[in-house]
Structure 1
Amino acid sequence: MTIPPPPSEPPTAGVFGPPPAEWWRKSGPVIPPGLPDTTVHTPIPIGAAPSGPPSMEAAAEAFWAPARAIFAEQATAIASQVGEQIGQLLTESEAQRSARQQVEYEEMLAGQRARMDAALGKVGESTQERSARHRVEDILTPSTPGRRDDLVGLVDLLADRISETPQDRTARREAEHELEKQRVRAEEDRALAAAGETPAQRDLRHRRQRLADQREAKLRARRQHRKASRAKAGSSSDRTRRFRRWCVLTAISAVGGYATGLVPLITPGGPFVGLLLAGAGWALDLHLRDRGRLRVSEVRRPGPLLILIAARIPVASGLAVATGIAPIFAALPLF
């Protein structure tokens, strides 16, 4: 087998120009004629800076130049807005500012409603549908503009809170609660109407809501009357009289517990069982007395008194066992 001689030219002959003969194998890497010499060093004049990447200071300056322009524009706008708000605080009274904001708010709502009516009228909204939509919008949309979220709104809020009396605070919270309840019910009406609720079902639901509102109003009026009567009689003698009445009613309940056999039943358990029973009975007692808003000494009529004494038997019996006075009932002439 004969070995062929080596090739006389490289495999890439003809790609970079004419064949370079034997230079790639004999005389080393010589640049063929016709190709640029990339190894030639280009001299730099004396005093000239070498060409290279920009410095960190130049890059930072190029990066922050647009941001600096935006910040300057925003600072000017913010300064003008703050100046306008300070001018409003200095030149307008609170009543004038509220009146102006109310007029602007009503004009904005009127424009929005007109645009909505025109848009829905083009797609075939009837008069009845428009009236129902207006009713829901009137409930969901507050009649007065909300609190501003700028400097003027903050100053007005602080002024209102500083000068607000307890009666004003109570009225404001009740108005906010009533408005929120109306909004929730309007949203419920709209959701149930979309789900297929009939007018008869809606009327029945509204009647139940009105009855619940009436009951809540009566309960609130009763609580306010009770609170007003407490404010009139707040002397030390009244507190002493209420304490004596509480002790008498609790003693009567404890006697009832001994007569029914509850005290002898829990006496072997010791003070711990007595405290446990007293705690459970106290929770029931608080629930019956409007979560403790009605005091024990404020119950007057015979019927409520009998109910209160019977309901407080577990409390009194548990206290008698926990304090260790249960054996005293056996010495009473009643038993």
Structure 2
Amino acid sequence: MTIPPPPSEPPTAGMPASDLDSVVVGEWWRKAGPRIPAPGTPVYTPVPLGTGHDQAVQAASTAAAAEAFWAPAGKLFAEQAKTIASSVGETVTQLLTETSAQRDARQQVEYEQLLKQQRARMDAALGAVGETTNEQAERHRIEDILTPGRPAQRDDLVGLVDLLADRLTETPEDRAARRATERELEKQRARAREDQLRAAAGETPAQRDLRHRQQQLADRREAKARARRERLRAARSKAGSSDRAKRVRRWCVLTAISAVGGYSIGLVPLLATGGPAVGALIAAIGWGFDLHIRDKGRLRVSEVRGFGPLLILIVLRLPVASGLAVATGLAPLLPALHLFN
């Protein structure tokens, strides 16, 4: 393709002078007049890319530019693909060849090594600022409680498979034992965190020992209450229809005795003046108090044994029985018994 030479005359050449004066021109070169380059002066004319031989040599092709641009990205993708393939291959190999005991042992060793390295770095850092031996021993005790004794559940495919296998093969007894262990471990960790906070607030070792003693006594009482609940639950599971009928009769007899006691002290006539609504309200309030006394309802009325506990139960259930008598309309029957004449 040949480039035409520049024009030798401006575009206004040959026009009348009157027409030149009336033309409104916006370009600067027309306002300043025609500028004809001197002979031999190079003229730079815009040429589209790739239309000349020199430009075609200098400009890179689109394919070459794209290849140069994507070369680093392709290298990075290749490295990531190798890493992912290696990780997947290792996981599949572990699932197919490594047993559960071998995997747990390997993870335990790696975990203990990691903890040992972290503790060594912490000991060196705190020892440099003046930590004593007793303070270090107390810190190690709290760390042992707060730190899990076994590696945490893995978040990869192996961990998911192990978790599903454990849950599918877990019996109700195993589930109860696991939850009890988790609750005990969480309690120990919470108390260890409390020890850290109180020690930072200025608690002395004597105060800490006293608080630990109180916590041990509370734990013993809680263990006794839990054992009693388990015994009652086991007894209920073995009970038949005749036992349930006996429990209903016992509940009715004890409630009637409480209602008679409420009538004897004037509670039933007092509630009767307010009507059934007042009786139902007092019965609901008394029932809530009764549940709280009976370990939030875990101990049934028919399961109370002994003269002393029965007497306390009858006295505490006076509002419940009196409110029920008024709410159900049985209050007029109490004077008919002629127990107080």
Distance 1:71 1:189 in 2: 50
Aligned counterpart for 2:200 among listed residues 194, 203, 207:
194
- Distance in 2 (CA, whole Å) between partners of 1:230 and 1:246 is 16
TM-score, normalised to structure 1's length? 0.79
84-93 vs 74-83, greater mean Cα deviation: 74-83
Q: How does 1:84-163 map to 2 (within 5 A)?
A: 84-163=90-169
User: RMSD of the alignment, in Å?
Assistant: 3.4
User: Which residue does the alignment assign to 2:242?
Assistant: 237
Report whether the alignment pairs 1:178 with 2:189: no
Query: Secondary structure of the residue that 2:334 maps to in structure 1?
Result: helix
Q: Find the aligned partners of 1:81 and 1:254 in 2 and give their Cα distance.
A: 74
Per the alignment, residue 54 of structure 1 pairs with none
Tell me how far 1:175 sits from its aligned partner.
Answer: 1.4
Per the alignment, residue 280 of structure 1 pairs with 285
Q: Give the deviation of 1:65 after TM superposition.
A: 8.4
- 1:252 is aligned to 2:257: yes
Deviations along 1:67-123, one digit per CA (max 9) or x if unpaired, are 776566545433432332222122122222212211221222222223333333344
Matches within 5 A, 1:38-77: 42=46, 44=48, 73-77=79-83
Query: Number of paired residues?
Result: 302
Matched, 1:306 2:315: no
Provide the residue aligned with 1:222 in structure 2.
Answer: 228
Query: Cα distance, 1:147 vs. partner?
Result: 0.9
Alpha-carbon distance in 2 for matches of 1:320, 1:63? 91
- Verify: 1:291 aligned to 2:304, yes or no: no
Scaled by the length of structure 2, the TM-score of the pair is 0.77
Query: Tell me, which stretches of 5 or more residues in structure 2 are unaligned?
Result: 1-26, 38-43, 53-65
1:164 is paired with a residue whose SS is coil
Q: Which runs of 5+ in 1 are unaligned?
A: 1-23, 35-39, 49-59
Residue aligned with 1:269, SS: coil
Aligned partner of 2:33: which letter? V
Q: Assess, with a 3 A threshold, how the Cα gap between structure 1 residues 149 and 330 changes in structure 2: closer, same or farther.
A: same
- Specify which of 211, 215, 221 is matched with residue 209 of structure 1: 215
Change (3 A) 1:320 1:117: same
CA distance in 2, matches of 1:182, 1:320: 49
Deviation at 1:289, TM superposition (A): 0.6
Residue from 255, 264, 271 that aligns with 2:269: 264
CA distance in 2, matches of 1:176, 1:74: 39
Shift of the 69–257 alpha-carbon distance from structure 1 to 2, 3 Å rule, reads farther
Q: Distance in 2 between matches of 1:79 and 1:300?
A: 69
**Structure 1: how far apart are the matches of 2:266 and 2:91?**
76
Q: Is 1:28 paired with 2:31? A: yes
CA shift in 2, pair 1:68/1:293, >3 Å: farther
Corresponding residue for 1:169? 175
Give how far 1:66 is off.
7.0
* Residue 303 (structure 1) shift: 0.6
Q: How big is the shift at 1:225?
A: 2.0
How far apart are the structure 2 equivalents of 1:66 and 1:274? 85
Distance 1:41 1:161, change over 3 A: same
**Mapped partners of 1:75, 1:223: distance in 2:** 58
Structure-2 separation of matches of 1:268 and 1:85 = 78
- Residue in 2 aligned with 1:326? 331
Identity %: 67
- In the TM superposition, what is the alpha-carbon distance from 1:307 to its structure 2 partner? 0.9
